[in-house]
Amino acid sequence: MPQTTPTLPVYLDYAATTPVDDRVAAVMQRYLTVDQLYANPASRSHMLGWQAEQVVEQARRQVADAIGADPREIVWTSGATEADNLALTGFMRANRERGMHLVTSTIEHKAVVDTAHALEAEGFEVTWITPGGDGRVTPEQLRDAMRDDTALVSLMTVNNELGSVNDIAALADVAHEFGAALHTDAAQAIGRVPLDVGAQDIDLMSLSGHKAYGPKGVGALYVKRHPDIRVEALIHGGGHERGMRSGTLPTHQIAGMGEAFALMVQQGEADQAHIAALGERFLDGLAQLDDVHRNAASEASLPNIINVAFGGVDGESLLMALRDVAVSTGSACNSASVEPSYVLLGVGVPRRLALSSLRFSFGRFTTAADVDHAVGVLQHAVTGLRG
């Protein structure tokens, strides 16, 4: 039985979104109101515009520095969803002569999966790799999927439901062997695993502000400066972002993402060490229960995303019983039924267990008390539901 019930739910859903760090919010507040630097960063005719542009360029450098890129390789977007759309659709459309074939995996984020489906409808061909039970795509699997007309490979760095990590450098090598480019969705990776677009030889990388203690509604696509790496714009207008993404730049959002990424460079490793200890504590607590398994567990799983199957317990009922602990099921409800997570099914988790699974994700502000509370509630609820 839980001893105390906190007034706010215990938040263990950091993979869905993170709170904005206070230091980030303080930076964002400088660029909004009438006595602040609210000018349009694209205004060339007055000093306020130039100053706003400098703020945007500093943030561009902060984001570039976090991934070892040149600031000129960063294109601001509305989030990782738009960055994924721009990477896949923009690159495939710009490289028709190179090839009409795209390779990706079945457990990518919907922003990649649904974009790839839209490209199929547009006449492109897609090969869908089924990853291993550990959620990882091997270089051998990728090699088998490659063709002479493969233009692009899109494989995520960290899976948002499983916490599994791909060896992107090794996958990039295979893509390049076949003359294809490599895109990776790194929305969940920043601050959690080392990212270096040079050392890993990455051509396109999607990033998001709000998975890294920055604001929602802002992200970026890294586009390698190389004549072979061109993307066609999806959003047309004033020709911002070197023509790749028009629209007035949201100075406050961008400054916030820059600050959040700079903090990740400083603090990401310490955060992960703190979270790893909490993850151990959580798994130790769950080990008291029978028939509980971490899905897609491997040496390469991150400690901050723990997806757990509770045998013999319906996930939706468990979620109800966990009213004051905020977590995710991967399943999607529609009017007729509850569909299990395509990611869990994609790594071979049986349907029954996929429906019994919850994702717990931890972050910078998670405490040992949060974990202990969640473990207490889970032990009580699982035991009760198994009756």
Q: Which long-range contacts (CB under 8 A, 24 or more apart) does 318-323 make?
A: 318/356, 318/358, 318/378, 318/381, 318/382, 318/385, 319/358, 321/377, 321/380, 321/381, 321/384, 321/385, 322/358, 322/374, 322/377, 322/378, 322/381, 323/9
- Tokens at residue 273, please? 């060490």
Report the site for ligand PLP in 138-177 (rule: CB under 6 A): 156, 160
- Of 43-72, binders to ligand PLP (CB under 6 A) are none
The distance of closest approach from Cβ of residue 95 to ligand PLP in the complex, given in angstroms and rounded to an integer, is: 22
Q: How far apart are CA 109 and CA 56, in angstroms?
A: 28
Question: Which residue in 101, 183, 192, 211 binds ligand PLP (CB under 6 A)?
Answer: 211
C-alpha 13/C-alpha 342 separation (Å) is: 19
**Out of 185, 203, 241, 271, which residue is the one contacting ligand PLP (CB under 6 A)?**
185
Residue 359 sits in the site that holds ligand PLP (CB under 6 A):
no
Nearest distance, CB of residue 47 and ligand PLP, angstroms:
32
**Residue in the structure block whose two tokens are 């509980």:** 292
Please confirm, yes or no, whether 179 is among the known catalytic residues. Answer: no
Q: Is 89 in the site for ligand PLP (CB under 6 A)?
A: no
Q: Please name every residue paired with 281 in a beta bridge, in sequence order, or none if there are none.
A: none
Residue with the two structure tokens 């007055």: 46
Region of 75-83, 174-182, 260-268, 352-360 interacting with ligand PLP (CB under 6 A):
75-83
Q: Write b or e for each residue in 96-117: b if 16 or more Cβ atoms lie within 10 A of its Cβ, otherwise e.
A: eebbbbbbbbebbbebbbebbe
Specify the residue, 211 or 359, whose C-beta has the smaller distance to ligand PLP: 211
For ligand PLP, which stretch binds (CB under 6 A), given 121-129, 206-214, 238-246, 349-357? 206-214
Q: From the list 2, 41, 79, 163, which residue makes contact with ligand PLP (rule: CB under 6 A)? A: 79
Our CA dihedral for 45, 50, 51, 53, rounded to 10 degrees, sits at 130
Q: Does 111 bind ligand PLP (CB under 6 A)?
A: yes
Grouping H, G, I as helix, E, B as strand and the rest as coil, residue 60 is: helix
131 is a contact residue toward ligand PLP (CB under 6 A): no
Of 85, 104, 105, 188, the one binding ligand PLP by CB under 6 A: 188
Query: Residue 155: helix, strand or coil by DSSP?
Result: coil
Output 210 or 274, the one with its CB closest to ligand PLP. Answer: 210
CA dist., res. 21 & res. 44, Å (int):
32
- Cβ of 144: how many Cβ atoms within 10 Å? 12
* Cα–Cα dist 355/357, whole Å: 6
Which residue of the set 170, 273, 320, 333 is catalytic?
Answer: 333
Q: Give the interface segment with ligand PLP, choosing from 144-152, 185-193, 328-336, 360-368 (CB under 6 A).
A: 185-193
With CB atoms as reference, the residue minimizing the distance to ligand PLP is: 79
Q: Is 109 in the site for ligand PLP (CB under 6 A)?
A: yes
Our finding on whether 219 is near ligand PLP (CB under 6 A) is: yes
Considering only residues 52, 80, 126, 181, which one is a binding residue for ligand PLP as defined by CB under 6 A? 80
Interaction of residue 253 with ligand PLP, rule CB under 6 A: no
294's enclosing H/E stretch is strand 292-294
Q: Which residues bind ligand PLP (CB under 6 A)?
A: 79-81, 109, 111, 156, 160, 185, 187-188, 208, 210-211, 219
Catalytic positions: 333
